Structure formats: C-alpha cells, structure tokens
Amino acid sequence: MARDRSKDGDHRPMLQVLRGAPRPVWVLIAGTFVNRVGSYFSTFVVLFLTERGFGAGELPLVLAAIGVGAMAGSFAGGWLADTVGRKRAIVGSMTASALALIALALVSGHVAVVVAVCVVALCTQSYIPAASALLVDHSAPADRVALFALFRVSLNVGAALGPLIAALIASSSYDLLFLIDSATCVLFAAVLLLGLPAEARRPRARKEDRRDTATTSVAGGRRRMPAIALLCLAIAGVTMVYSQHSSTLPLDLTEGGMSTGFYALLLAFNGALVVIGELPLASLTRRYEPHRPMIVGALLMSVGMALSGLLPAAFAVLAAVAMWSLGEMVLTPVANSAVAAMSAPGRIARDQGRLAAAQTLGFVVGPVIGLLAYGWSPLLPWLGCLAVGAASALAIAAAHRLAASTRPRADQPALAAAAASAPTVAHA
C-alpha cells in the first residue's frame, strides 16, 4: 500500500490528535455515547411489533418501510444541517426523536404503529449527517480518520452497554424501553444545546453575491456528484456483505450444528476487536490516500464474511470473524473522511447524508438478498459476498480516479481555493 507521502508531515501523533480535539468534538462524542446507551428502538422493534400483533407476513413490509424512513432521514438530516447549521439540526432531530418515541409508546392500531415506527426511524437517523459534518468542520483533513474512529468507538461502547440495561427492562415493558430511549434523546439534545457554542448567523449578503456563491456551490457539487455517488454505491455493497453477520451467518452456523451461544460469542468477539483495535488501526490508515485502505477493507470484509460461512471448524470461523472485523475497522472511519474530501463547499452534511443512506440501504437489502440466496443454495450467499466485495473494491478505485479527474485545474486558482477549503460552521 503506497503511502500518501505528500501529506505525511501533516500527521501528528495519534495521542496528540485525540488530546487536541476541540471541545465540540468531545461534546458530540459524549452526547452520542449517552444517546447510544439508551437507543433501544432498532434492537427491539421486531419484538415490539410482534407484541402488537404483527404477523410473519407483515413484518418484512414494516421493516422495509422503516428502512425507507431511515434513508429519508439521512437525506433530510444532511439538507437540514447544511441549511440551518449542525447544532440546530442535531438538537432538532433529537427533540423530534423524543416526541416520536413517546408517541410510539402511546399509539395503538396497526396503521398508527406503522406510521409511528417510520417517523421514529426518520428522526433518529437524521442526526447522523449533522454529527459527521460537525466532526469534519472541527478537524483538519489529516485528523479526520482518527476522530471518526474515536466517534465509532464511543458508538460501539454505548451499543455494547445498552442491551445490558435493556435486558433488565424489556421483560416488563417495551413501552418503558422507548420512553427511556426518548429520555436519552432529550439528554443528548441538552448536552449539545449547553455544550456547543451558539452558531452565528451568517451576515446577509448582497443578492448578486448569494447568486454567485450558490452557482459555485452547485457547480462544484455537480462535478463531484458522480464520484460521491459511485463511492456511496460501493459502501452500500460492502454494507450488504457486512449485514450477513446478523442474518445469513447465524442461520448457516446453527444449521451446521453450532450453538446460538457460539454465535453470541462471535458477536462479542467482533465488538471487542472493534473497541480495542479501531483507534490503533486509524493511526495507520490515516496516513494513506483514502481509497487504498478502503479497498483493502472491502476485500478483507468480503473474504472474511465468505469464510465465516464456508469454514466448518469453530476456531477457523473465529479467524474469519477477525478478518472481517479488521476490514470493518480499516474501511469505515476512512469512508466518512473520503466523502468529506470529495464534497463541495456548503454540501458536506448532504454528502454525509448520502453516505448514511447508502449504509442504511445495505443493511435493509443485504439480509433479504442473503437469505433468498441461501434458500437457493447454502454456498450462494458466500460466493455472492466475494463477488460484491470485489465489485465494491473496483468501484472505490473508480470513484477515486473520477474524483481526481474533477479536481479544479491549476489555472483556476479561485475555484481551486474554494474546493480546497473545508467549510466551517461559524461560532459566536
């Protein structure tokens, strides 16, 4: 893997990057951790729907509707964050999420429940583009992979603690779980409202200046859009592969004679590896051009996931899980940074929303395709993982070449300066 030597001097020691992270980054990470510890909607929504009388034939349709709602939330959240500011978008998203979760605990009737779960999915997903954009705004390009890795570690630790707390409550009431989830959304909003500086409103510009700025932003966005779209398509493919760990893999393992306890051990093993290894790996991957670790990560994830389903011995499956976990740690923090590097000024959050929507699409479509393929042949989903992983790696490489070809030329200094400057949210 060739090192990005042109930027090597910009890479400070990892500990220095983390210690020097600005206050808004730490406030966001603290608030997100609190929220993730209390995020029970996605974990218990199937059990909740079953308790409310939804049958096996209805559940797939409702889950698909939830996925559509989450994708819509990614797009809407990105637009909102670029329009009104990161802090306002996250606080608004969390406030709306809290109200939607309260409504979900109170409504009755199938139609009302379906509407409520879709609104919850839309609202709870809409903060992600704004959070990603906030990290981009408050980090140098050389530090972004490290800070996104730190952000993911906080999410994963919170996600590991959440089910332990939920296990004590779920047996008594799913409604109580969602009310607690609502309370953590309010707490997240309060942490950001009090911890982040107020976003300054931009001074009113002349009509001609606003028109010129909008034209430049739209033109820059159009030049970069094919590369960003191709990269997001590749991430959707990788996510489809990754999603097999929660759908096709447990089915294959149990039908192969392994226990559900062993599958739970694999999930715990994956979580421990990510929490322990993501930051150290980020200290290495941040030193390379983004497409290189992303290609390596996509291939590790696809080969590792395929081997998880093909290898018969338990110790070999553990090794395969370690492989796709390594791929997850190599690829995922870099993806947000890569999209940010391609984004036009003023469109950071919208492009982060597109990335989040692509990941959601992969998580929605991947399990369905995997299980259908498994029904045709137990070998088919694992061969499919190899094919999709290879295609995603090629798409990442193509997106990099396309982005390089659309960079402003040296004879366009004003446009080049506009594209090179990362947009920053002004603070009072």
10 within a domain of the structure (yes/no): no
Higher pLDDT, 345 or 281: 281
**CA–centroid distance for 332 within its chain:** 8
Q: Mean pLDDT across the stretch 312-328?
A: 92
Of the pLDDT bands very low, low, confident and very high (cuts 50, 70, 90), residue 170 is: low
Q: What is the pLDDT of residue 10?
A: 60
Residue 295 above 90 pLDDT? Answer: yes
As a whole number, the mean pLDDT across the chain is 83
CATH number assigned to the domain comprising residue 150: 1.20.1250.20
Q: How many CA atoms within 13 Å lie on the side-chain side of 327? A: 24
CA-based angle 265:45:368, to the nearest 5? 70
pLDDT tier for residue 423 given thresholds of 50, 70 and 90: very low
Asked whether residue 406 carries a pLDDT value surpassing 50, the answer given is yes
Assigned token pair, 17: 């990057």
Total domains in the fold of the chain = 2
> Are 171 and 269 in the same domain?
no
Asked whether residue 193 falls in the same domain as residue 275, the answer is no
Q: What residues contact residue 191 under an 8 Å CB cut-off, 6+ apart?
A: 27, 30, 31, 34
215 and 167 inside one domain: no
Give me the amino acid identity at 244. Q
Same domain, 247 and 151: no
Domain range for 154: 17-199
Q: Which of 141, 169, 199 is the last residue of a domain?
A: 199
- In angstroms, the Cα distances linking 29 to 148, 151, 152, 355 are 10, 6, 9, 20
- Residue 371: Cβ within 10 Å count: 14
In a domain, 4, yes or no: no
Same domain, 191 and 220: no
Pick from 199, 232, 261: which residue ends a domain? 199
Q: Which residues, at least 6 apart from 387, have a Cβ–Cβ distance to it below 8 Å?
A: none
Mean pLDDT of 105-118: 90
In a domain, 386, yes or no: yes
Among 145, 176, 199, residue at a domain's last position: 199
What band does 172 get if pLDDT is binned at 50, 70 and 90? low
Indicate the helix (H) or strand (E) that contains 287.
Answer: none
Better-predicted residue by pLDDT, 290 or 209: 290
Indicate whether 3 belongs to any domain.
Answer: no
Same domain, 245 and 120: no
Same domain, 226 and 114: no
